[in-house]
Amino acid sequence: MSKYDPSSEPAGDDELIKSKSQVKREMQALQELGKHMLDLGDEQLATLPMSETLKAAIQESRRIRQHEARRRHLQYIGKVIRNEDDPEALRRAVEAFDAGSEEHTRRHHLAERWRDRLIAEGNSAVAEFIEHCPTADVQHLRNLLRNAQRDVKTGKNTGQGRKLFRYLRECIDEAEQAG
């Protein structure tokens, strides 16, 4: 017969007991996150806020070919993700690479708004963008902006607006992953 352990009971109304089904759903979601991480490229993985343990587990999982071993290793990856400092930040960072996700769409629209505003307002908006994304290279940004404005004035499309958009998107991604 087991002894009564008061530490196993909730401390009060603040602490809720999760059902076994809820715990399983959460673990399944973490395993799905791990599966998405396996599909990312090495460059994308390098930008994610994760521990060395998780990086090693993902690298190991890429070498596993047997179905059952891979399934068990995904369970392990889910467990490692659960022990990460901020699994929610990790999930948002992975979603930013997923073209259908809300996070990706939000960042895309933000970059579009900044591009349009920069082209319309010029250098006055550059200072505000630098406040939003302090890691941006001001000289490179102004050069891209000048070229995009020239395209708008001449009515030609040489792709400068697209280059500006890509750079803005990179800066926004860096700023949001760092913050």
pLDDT (0 to 100) of residue 49: 81
The identity of residue 71, as a single letter, is R
Task: Name the token pair of 43.
Answer: 């460059």
Numbered ranges of CATH 1.10.60.30 in the chain? 17-97, 102-178
pLDDT (0 to 100) of residue 143: 93
pTM for this entry? 0.55
Among 175, 164, 165, residue whose Cα is nearest residue 134? 175
CATH for the stretch 102-178: 1.10.60.30
For 137-154, b where at least 16 C-beta lie within 10 A, e where not — what string? eeeebeebbeebbebeee
Q: 135 — phi, psi (to 5°)?
A: -85, -5
pLDDT (0 to 100) of residue 14: 45
Q: Is 10 helix (H, G, I), strand (E, B) or coil?
A: coil
For 18-30, b where at least 16 C-beta lie within 10 A, e where not — what string? eeeeeeeeeeeeb
CATH homologous superfamily for 17-97?
A: PSPTO4464-like domains (1.10.60.30)
pLDDT (0 to 100) of residue 13: 46
Residues 6+ apart with CB under 8 A from 100: none
Angle between helices 102-121 and 123-132 (to 10 degrees): 150
Residues 6+ apart with CB under 8 A from 57: 73, 76, 77, 80
Q: CA-CA distance, 78 to 147, in Å (whole number)?
A: 46
pLDDT along the chain (179 residues), means of 10: 52 67 89 86 80 89 89 91 85 76 82 91 88 89 92 87 90 77
Sign of CA dihedral 110, 111, 112, 113: positive
Task: State pLDDT tens for residues 6-50.
Answer: 555 555 444 578 899 988 898 898 888 888 888 888 877 887 888
